[in-house]
Amino acid sequence: MRDAMLTALGWVEIAFEGETLTACRLTDAPAPAERTAFSARALREIGEYLAGERRTFDLPTAAAGTAFQQRVWAELRRIPYGGTATYGEIARRIGSPGAARAVGQACGRNPIWLVVPCHRVIGADGSLTGYEGGVDVKRRLLELEQGY
């Protein structure tokens, strides 16, 4: 099922199964809404996060991915609100020190951005590298968190 809401970043669309979030993305044309109590809760939490009122999410999630991607996504959730980590740091933390590029690819395939905060991953030189919603959105999210 899907639901969506308009935010300052544009339309945020979620996909969910029962009471589990399976995807979250920016879109120009959201699918017709299928509002449930869970989707209302998920969108409320996302709205609170984007308004600077929430630092963590309390949503059950399930994303399809390889074992490597799952390890990366689990590690992304450990980056604290307002913090950052490099692709290389994430690779070392998951026991694959030479896999910084693969970490970047896993971040790019993260279907639950915001909730699984791939925007907190930056280049080794501190640069803001690619992001699902674009580097401008990544910058805005990091600025939001650092202004708390």
CA distance 103 to 60: 23
pTM of the prediction?
Answer: 0.93
pLDDT for residue 132: 77
pLDDT at residue 27 above 90? yes
How far, rounded to the nearest angstrom, does the alpha carbon of residue 142 sit from its chain's CA centroid?
12
3-state secondary structure (DSSP) of residue 9? coil
- Averaged pLDDT score across all residues of the chain: 95
The domain defined by 67-146 carries CATH number 3.40.50.300: no
Residues involved in catalysis: 118
Q: pLDDT, tens digit, for every residue of 28-73?
A: 989 899 999 999 999 999 999 999 999 999 999 999 999 999 999 9
CA distance from start to end of the chain: 33
Q: Which of the 8 DSSP states describes residue 120?
A: G
**Amino acid (one-letter) located at 3:** D
Long-range contacts of 127-136 (CB under 8 A, 24+ apart): 129/87, 129/104, 130/104, 132/25, 132/26, 132/108, 133/9, 133/25, 133/26
CA distance 22 to 45: 15
pLDDT for residue 120: 97
Q: pLDDT, tens digit, for every residue of 33-44?
A: 999 999 999 999
- Taking phi over 0 as left and psi of -120 to 50 as alpha, with beta for the rest, 10 belongs to left
pLDDT at residue 88 above 70? yes
Residue range(s) in the chain whose domain bears CATH number 1.10.10.10: 67-146
